[in-house]
Amino acid sequence: MSPPGTTITLARTPQTEFHAVDQGPGMSETDRARAFDRFRRSSDSHHDGTGLGLPIVRHLVHASGGEITLDSAPGGGLDARVRLRPVTGARSRTGHGPSRAMRTTARAR
């Protein structure tokens, strides 16, 4: 969890991948390996939570044929990378959505 007032960056590539990068304390490799376990909270967690958010996200991503990984972000924080299965058929040829990389930032509350 990012401290209040820090930036969370969302970036989407033209393919089927996006990143949510925060400026929080990050996670150790051990915590990242277990972060998707239900009810699991970081060993140095100082915030409220049930430990269900990441397992729910992983379930939804996998149900869509995708994959989610957690990596250390450059300069600290966490980079949650989601890769989704490409859309096939007529929908993929309609040109919906931007065709270039898109980046959005927001402040953590």
Q: Tens of pLDDT along 32-55?
A: 989 999 987 766 656 666 778 889
How does pLDDT run across 69-106, given as a tens digit for each residue? Answer: 999 998 889 999 999 988 776 554 444 444 445 566 66
Is the pTM value of this prediction over 0.85? no
Please tell me what DSSP assigns to residue 90: G
Residue 60 φ/ψ region, left for φ over 0, alpha for ψ in the -120 to 50 degree band, beta for the rest: alpha
Q: Give the mean pLDDT of 23-28.
A: 87
